Amino acid sequence: WFSLQHVNSTLKKNADAELHELSSIASEFTNLWFDDHLTDLYTFKNQLANYPLEQSKLINHFVTHYDFVNSIEVIAASTFEQPIISPYGQIDKGELSQLIN
């Protein structure tokens, strides 16, 4: 017969293992999400450089296609006194072009 202590210990081990697995999945998802979106930003920057006459069209497409654009905080590595260049909210399309160039 199982004692209450043994049952509690087994439940705790199982809960800890499940929590660890969920944490690992969430961490992997987050890393993949950021990698994917950073890759998209670098690809976008290259497109802007390679097709200067189509910048307006490319910017409009990018802003329309990617919902995260309006929730970007850009950290200025050169100054940490004012780290946020663009607060949450609507980013001006001209400002986006300046940030990426």
Place of tokens 């069209």: 57
Would you state the pLDDT for residue 50? 93
- pLDDT digit string (tens) for 24-33? 999 999 888 8
Q: What is the pLDDT of residue 98?
A: 61
Q: What is the pLDDT of residues 39-79, one digit of tens each?
A: 888 888 899 899 989 988 988 888 888 877 776 665 555 55
- Written as one letter, the residue type at 97 is S
The pLDDT assigned to 88 comes to 40
CA pair distance 9, 49, nearest whole angstrom: 60
**Overall average pLDDT of the 19-26 stretch:** 94
CA atoms within 13 A on the CB side of 39: 6
Distance of CA 93 to the CA centre of its chain: 20
pLDDT at 39: 86
First to last CA, the chain: 70
